[in-house]
Structure formats: C-alpha cells, structure tokens
Amino acid sequence: MITLTEKHRKTDGSLSRRGFLTAGALGTFGLTLPQLLRAESVAGLGQSQKSVILVHLDGGPPHMDMIDMKMSAPSEIRGEFFPIQTALPGFQMCELMPRIAAAADRFTFIRSLTGSAGRHDAFQCQSGFNTKDLESMGGRPAMGSVVARLQGTAKDVAPTFVDMMQGRPLVRNSARPGFLGPSYQAFRPDLSDMFQRELEAGMKGELARLGGDHKTSLTLDKNLSLDRLHTRTSLLSGLDSIRREMDASGMMDAMDGFTQQAVSILTSGRFAEAIDLSREDPKVLARYTPKIQLGGEQFVTAEGPESVKKFLLARRLIEAGVRVVSLSISDFDTHSKNFPRMRNLLPLVDHGLHALVTDLEERGLLDDVTIVAWGEFGRTPRIDPKTGGRHHWPQVGPAILAGGGLQSGQVIGSTDRTASTVASRPVDYKDIFATVFGQLGIDARNTTIIDPQGRPQYLLDAGEPLPELV
C-alpha cells in the first residue's frame, strides 16, 4: 500500500481535503491503459482547490411537487403532497423532503430556471448549451472537460472529470468533450454492478451502438503486463516487436510521454481505491444508507435506496483529487403515476443531498465543493387525468444549490399561481454555469478555448454569475 501526502496543509496544521490519498489494490472497474493515460494527462487541481458535483435528476423533476408548491391552485394542478415549513422563514417545500427542509439555510432554491432546450439528456445540465450548438465540429464541451483543459495537468493524482451518470445521460453521452476531443473526455467507470438502473427498451439499442469505449474499466490491458510496464526502457525496447498488435488495440497511445504515469497508476491502484466503498468508515457509510420506509412504488427504470451511495462516491472522488463529478438519480420522467413514483424518488434525493452537504460541512470541505441538483426541464402543472402523470415542461424548472462558498439560505425566483411560467427573477442554465465557473476561478464570459478550426470560443456566450450567490 502506498500513501501520498500533500505538501500543503491548512493553517491549523490539519490536512486539507486533498491532504492524503491511500493507494490500494486495483478494483474491479478496470481502465484500459490508453483511456487511463488520457484521463490522467488532463486531470488535476490546477491553481484552484474548488470542485463541483453536478447532480442530474434524470427525466425532468416536477418543480411544483418539490420546492414550488401551489396549495391554492386547483386540485388537478396542486396534486397529492402537502408542504412543510423549512428553516427559511416563509418558505415551504414538499413533505417528502424533510431533511433538506430542516437544513434549508445551507441550500439555495431556484424556482425560476428557464431556457430549457427541451431535450431528454443531461447535456444542458453539463454545459449550459443545446446539444446542437457547434455540432458540426463536435459540439460544445461539458464543463468537466473544460476544467480539464484549463486547469488539469499531467502530474495530478486523479482525473479532472469523472462521469457517474446512468440512464439517459449515459446513453446520450451527456458528459461529452465536444470539440476538445477525446483527450479531455470524462473518466467514466462502469457502475452497473453497484447501482442498478434499468434502461428503457429503446435506449438499450442506443447504448449497444456506442460500444465499449463509452465506459471505462480499471483492468490492466492484456497486451501489456506489469513487467513490461516496469520501466520506460522495457516498454520502448519492445516497441518494434509488438507494434502491429498495439496498432490494432489502440495501445500505441502508451508509447509517449505517458509511460511513466502508466507505471505509477497501474501498479498503485490509488484511484480505484476511491471507487471502493468498502474502504469507507462504516459509520459514514451508514449515513448514506437510507433507513426510511419508502412509499409509493419504484418504477422499472427508477433507482432504489442504494443509489444514495452515489453521493458518497462523489465525495470520495472529490477527496481523491477529482475536480468535477457528475451523477444521476433516475427516473423523474413521470408521464404516468407521478405521485406514487415521487413517493419513492424524492426521499432518496432528500436523503442523498442532505447527507452529502452535512458530511462535507463536518469535514470542512463544503465551501470548496459546489453542488448543483437539477434536470433537463420541469413538468406540466396540470396532471394528466388518464395517466396520473406530469409531462415535459421546458418553460420552467427547479434547481437546488449548496456549498462552494456561495451565499446559501435563499429562495430565488417565483412562478405564477399554477407554476406554469416565471413570474420573477428568471435564471438561465448559463447563469448557473457562469456562477459555478466563477467559483472555480474561471471567468466564463471572458475565457476562450480554441476550436478545431483555430477559432477562439468563449466558454459561455451568455449568462452572468448570480449576484445573490457570489
């Protein structure tokens, strides 16, 4: 076992959040060597120690059943749930979210999120842009890929960007690097054995067509043994004899400046340890294990109580040096049985977000980690009388933020009496990204990256940091 100790400590002498990282054996998720090398080459902390956790509420969360309840609206809009008082005077939220309600002063609630592209993926929640923007040259890059490009270095101990999204976000490659290219793609571990998420029938074919490169494994490539990786000399000496095999498998990527990194990574397994939840303190693991009795019903594409541990995994990855982590909770696409399904899903979101925020706060990390929970759109105010569901509603949706040094304990924006349209303080997806980029030390409206045609592209072409938060 190898222990890596960071040079810089907090002023009180205690280790900072990246102050230690213990290396263990390789886990069951394997990363093919070229993918791992590319991930490591763009990983890092840069000059900032700030990080981001993006939580995608896959399918589109119903804002009027969460943080924008309309008890004076007709019953076909109001729905079945009752509001409860929160720690913020005058602000009520759904009875299914009591933990967040009690800690509302640590969160910011946005009830006027607008500008949705209306698409069923998570790309807008990863970049702020419509997936078709700059599509001819690969599209806009996800935020994590941008951070990897601007702040990652080849010397960092973990990938800059880790994508743990499942369901639609995975199938539709929402965490894509866009025109930045594969060198800045997210590290995407296969979590299917840890967190079950049944795909819709049509999506299974979509995922199969993406091939094996769509996910990352942590096993040593069979074409290169540890002995061969032991030194750069042994690698290069065997180059001619194995060139043909390496060309066929993509292993030529290993024969460059990443060689020494490969030796370190594949022999230490330090990143795999962060993904191994069995190494977590049992008391902390229990915090992320709901003991509540869920009501309603679990839809076939929805996740169960185990999904809450994704929040713990995100925290462990941040502590291991990852800068941007994406995760998803499914399935909010409630075209039918909205209320029975919300009785199952909302307590999981409530438990997970509360556990993450309180855990980070106790560890002294909350001001360094910005958390954003949102979806691709809201849902229709009027309940479908035939299905009991709510359908897609791009006009307005919800967002919940915490941490990152942002000013918490706020409710921003409002909707009309039926939660149909924004009545005050509209907030665009790009406003949120401008705010989060700013917390990472990046001025998104005045920072450019070069596209494949050699032209500078601003990180954001619209949006401003929310003055209420910064």
What pLDDT does residue 43 have? 41
Asked whether 376 and 60 are in contact (CB, 8 A), the reply is yes
What pLDDT does residue 12 have? 43
3-state secondary structure 225-242: CHHHHCCHHHHHHCHHHH
Nearest to 105 by CA among 312, 354, 398: 354
CATH number at residue 132: 3.40.720
Lookup result for tokens 């299974």: 204
Q: Which of 447 and 32 is assigned the larger pLDDT?
A: 447
When pLDDT is averaged across residues 43-55 and rounded to a whole number, the result is 69
Whether residue 153 lies inside any domain: the answer is yes
Whether residue 241 lies inside any domain: the answer is no
Residue 187 has pLDDT above 60, yes or no: yes
Helix, coil or strand: residue 170 = helix
Domains of the chain: total = 1
Q: What whole-number percentage of the chain has pLDDT above 90? A: 65
Domain that holds residue 72: 2-23+48-201+280-458
Strands 51-58 and 448-450: unpaired
What pLDDT does residue 124 have? 98
Residue 321: both structure tokens together: 């040096």
Please write the tens of the pLDDT for every residue from 92-138. Answer: 999 999 999 999 999 999 999 999 999 999 999 999 999 999 999 99
Please write the tens of the pLDDT for every residue from 6-45. Answer: 333 344 444 333 333 322 333 333 444 444 444 444 443 3
Q: Which of 228 and 294 is assigned the larger pLDDT?
A: 294
Please write the tens of the pLDDT for every residue from 140-182. Answer: 999 999 999 999 876 667 788 999 999 999 999 999 999 998 8
What pLDDT does residue 210 have? 80
What pLDDT does residue 269 have? 64
Mean pLDDT for all residues in the chain: 83
What one-letter code names the amino acid at 76?
A: E
Rounded to 5°, the CA angle 151-152-156 comes to 135
Q: Report the distance separating Cα 120 and Cα 118, nearest Å.
A: 7
What pLDDT does residue 22 have? 29
Asked whether 175 and 125 are in contact (CB, 8 A), the reply is no
Q: Which of 345 and 266 is assigned the larger pLDDT?
A: 345
Q: List, as one string, the DSSP characters of 27-78.
A: -SSB--HHHHHHHHHT---TT---EEEEEEEET---GGGTT---TTS-HHHH
Residue 156: both structure tokens together: 């960092």
What pLDDT does residue 10 have? 41
Nearest to 366 by CA among 408, 411, 329: 408
Whether residue 228 lies inside any domain: the answer is no
Residue 381: both structure tokens together: 């105010």
CA dihedral 178, 182, 186, 188 (to 10 degrees): 120
When pLDDT is averaged across residues 453-467 and rounded to a whole number, the result is 97
What pLDDT does residue 17 have? 35
48 falls in which pLDDT band (50, 70, 90)?
very low
Helix, coil or strand: residue 12 = coil
What pLDDT does residue 289 have? 94
Nearest to 185 by CA among 388, 70, 333, 324: 324
Q: Which of 430 and 274 is assigned the larger pLDDT?
A: 430
Helix, coil or strand: residue 205 = helix
What pLDDT does residue 186 have? 87
Q: Which of 228 and 212 is assigned the larger pLDDT?
A: 212
Q: Report the distance separating Cα 164 and Cα 152, nearest Å.
A: 19
When pLDDT is averaged across residues 46-66 and rounded to a whole number, the result is 89
Please write the tens of the pLDDT for every residue from 360-413. Answer: 999 999 999 999 999 999 999 999 999 999 999 999 999 999 999 999 999 999
Whether residue 310 lies inside any domain: the answer is yes
Whether residue 428 lies inside any domain: the answer is yes
Task: Name the pTM for this structure.
Answer: 0.83
Whether residue 187 lies inside any domain: the answer is yes
Residue 322 has pLDDT above 50, yes or no: yes
Residue 463 has pLDDT above 70, yes or no: yes
What pLDDT does residue 271 have? 72
Residue 243 has pLDDT above 80, yes or no: no
82 falls in which pLDDT band (50, 70, 90)?
very high
Residue 430 has pLDDT above 60, yes or no: yes
When pLDDT is averaged across residues 195-204 and rounded to a whole number, the result is 89
Q: What whole-number percentage of the chain has pLDDT above 70? A: 77
217 falls in which pLDDT band (50, 70, 90)?
low
